[in-house]
Structure 1
Amino acid sequence: MESILKLDELIADMTEIVTATSEMEFNLKLSPDKWSKKEILGHLCDSAVHNHVRFVKILLSEYPIAIQGYAQNDWVQVHDYQNQYDPSEVLSLWQHLNRMILRVMRAAETSDFQKKCVLPDKTEVTLEWLFNDYVDHLIHHLEQIEA
């Protein structure tokens, strides 16, 4: 599956981009209500936690799983990535979480990717769609961190 290969590439790309970014730039907040690059990466850690659980629940179920949303801003605030983590810590956390997701997805059977889940708006999608959406979400935020 192409998205599995893409996630593997993204782990390497994100590592390169973050390590090439100065700590000052990584911590810079353009306004109080906008995330810094560090907080964006922290948000991606939170996203990885939620999506890992979603992926595993879908893989283990014979029936469509209802996907719950989460309060993204609140999660970033509670974790306080801006003040409680240095850049290498948040990067390491993100790497480990995504490697865990990668291992789960690589172990899935081809037929598992057609298992269903239900989004908060009641739209029914497959695990394949959800995983592709997860990877697209990473790409979107990687571009923000790289900018």
Structure 2
Amino acid sequence: MTKRPSNEEYSAYFETYVSLVPDGDIRECLTETFKKTIEVLSTVSEERANYRYAPGKWSLKEVLGHITDNERIMSYRLLRIARGDRTPLAGYDQDVLMGGASFDACTLSELLEDYTAVRQATLTLLNGLSEEAWDRRGTVSGSESTSRAWAYILTGHEIHHMNVIQDKYLQG
């Protein structure tokens, strides 16, 4: 799957994420992103994983938990659309989800294990899609989108947050 989604395949809200995804097969990109995330975060100490770069900001553990939660939600959207389910899907409030989570009570290795399981499930889903499934359309938060777009959005979302982690959490 090498065809990038056109900007008619997703809401303009997600353009930042889609634009971060390099050209090439999205499954290979997700695999490479996974390897980089594991490589970077597996060297972080438990103390550093609790670091917040400013008051009111998420800890590094919470950012990883958010990446994982977001992938679950976006891959679910992708699944529903790819299978032809035209039932409109709702958006979600990341702050509500974070308020109900307890990522800081987990070890970083536990969070990395959860992230790994979710990524493997996403890759399995993508590997099983037919060519026509990538082009199917559905509605999320009132906007029409393709399953292909959701693969790019979830990938770009992780790239975005890993850039923030590198810049705000792991410098110095």
In the superposition, the TM-score normalised over structure 1's length comes to 0.90
Confirm or deny that 1:80 pairs with 2:87: no
Deviation (angstroms), 1:78 = 1.2
List 4+ stretches of structure 1 deviating above 4 A: none
Q: Secondary structure at the match of 2:54?
A: coil
Equivalent residue, structure 1, for 2:143: 123
Deviation (angstroms), 1:135 = 0.6
Distance in 2 between residues matched to 1:60 and 1:37, nearest whole Å: 34
Q: Is the CA contact (8 Å cut-off) linking 1:48 and 1:97 kept in structure 2?
A: yes
Q: Pick from 24, 32, 35: which aligns with 2:58?
A: 35
Letter in 1 for 2:80: K
Q: Secondary structure at the match of 2:145?
A: strand
Q: Secondary structure at the match of 2:138?
A: strand
Deviation (angstroms), 1:72 = 0.8
Deviation (angstroms), 1:32 = 3.6
Letter in 2 for 1:103: T
How many residues are paired up?
144
Deviation (angstroms), 1:65 = 4.1
Q: Is the CA contact (8 Å cut-off) linking 2:46 and 2:108 kept in structure 1?
A: yes
Q: Secondary structure at the match of 1:28?
A: coil
Deviation (angstroms), 1:60 = 2.2
Equivalent residue, structure 1, for 2:75: 52
Distance in 2 between residues matched to 1:88 and 1:43, nearest whole Å: 15
Letter in 1 for 2:40: I
- Give the number of the structure whose residues are more often helix, by fraction: 1
Deviation (angstroms), 1:104 = 0.3
Q: Secondary structure at the match of 1:130?
A: helix
Confirm or deny that 1:146 pairs with 2:127: no
Q: Secondary structure at the match of 1:30?
A: coil
Q: What are the ranges of 5 or more consecutive residues in structure 1 without an aligned counterpart?
A: none
Distance in 1 between residues matched to 2:51 and 2:66, nearest whole Å: 16
What fraction of aligned residue pairs are identical, expressed as a percent?
A: 23
Distance in 1 between residues matched to 2:131 and 2:67, nearest whole Å: 26
In the superposition, the TM-score normalised over structure 2's length comes to 0.78
